[in-house]
Amino acid sequence: MEETNILVVDDEKEIADLLEIYLISDGFQVLKAYSAKEGLRILEEKKIDLVLLDVMMPDMDGIAMCRRIRETNNIPIIMVSAKTQDIDKIVGLSTGADDYVAKPFNPLELMARVKSQLRRYTQLGNAAESGDSIYTVGGLSINDDLKEVTVDGEVVKLTPIEYNILLLLVKNQGKVFSINQIYESIWNEDAIGADNTVAVHIRHIREKIEINPKEPRYLKVVWGVGYKIDKN
């Protein structure tokens, strides 16, 4: 069985060591970095399957590191931060993080989120076993066998969360999904305070698939209800 390598990046050694204990007890391999610079070096040298990333670090913070990772890599990133305001969560998700967990964290919840992100990423990386899995709306096409999204023939790079949200909407063209329905379908947990989380990912998807995100051709908002992809 292939090892799952998790990179923990936190300038507080005690927190990094604590995360390592939890992760190892769940069967994961752990690499630790005490700065963003060290973390980026490890990412270049090792195969990493998920990053647990602290936000507040000296020199380069977690937000800047997340941006750097997203320039070349779509692996799951979970931000772990003492900053708990909604705006902090929005900023973290806006830079490309897949999830955001506040310190002090519940170890069981954090491990559940780690496993959930890894499952989603594994599913995204594996080709579907059979069947014709191409979904098209105008110039937007999703090949679910290849896990590839194209707009007018150009490949669009999406994170696993973004891909799954878009696939859900495209497979159900014309159906309006509420924020809570999207959250519960994608995250597989009760939607508590899901509004900002979903809205940030929707905005990201629009920025990647729409010529003009403010006047979307594909991903439409139904005010007061939710989001949908119009039928062809």
**pLDDT tens per residue, range 139-195:** 899 988 888 899 988 889 888 889 999 999 999 999 999 999 998 888 877 767 677
Model confidence pLDDT, tens digit, residues 16-31: 999 999 999 999 999 9
Q: Name which of 53, 41, 152, 132 is nearest 97 in CA terms.
A: 53
Model confidence pLDDT, tens digit, residues 103-141: 888 888 889 889 888 887 766 554 334 345 888 888 899
The pLDDT, as a whole number, for residue 131 is 44
Over the chain, what is the mean pLDDT? 85
The reported pTM is 0.62
Domains and CATH numbers, the chain: 5-125 (3.40.50.2300), 134-229 (1.10.10.10)
Model confidence pLDDT, tens digit, residues 37-96: 999 999 999 999 999 999 888 888 888 999 899 888 888 999 988 766 666 667 767 788
Of the pLDDT bands very low, low, confident and very high (cuts 50, 70, 90), residue 213 is confident
Mean of pLDDT values over 212-229: 90
The pLDDT, as a whole number, for residue 88 is 65
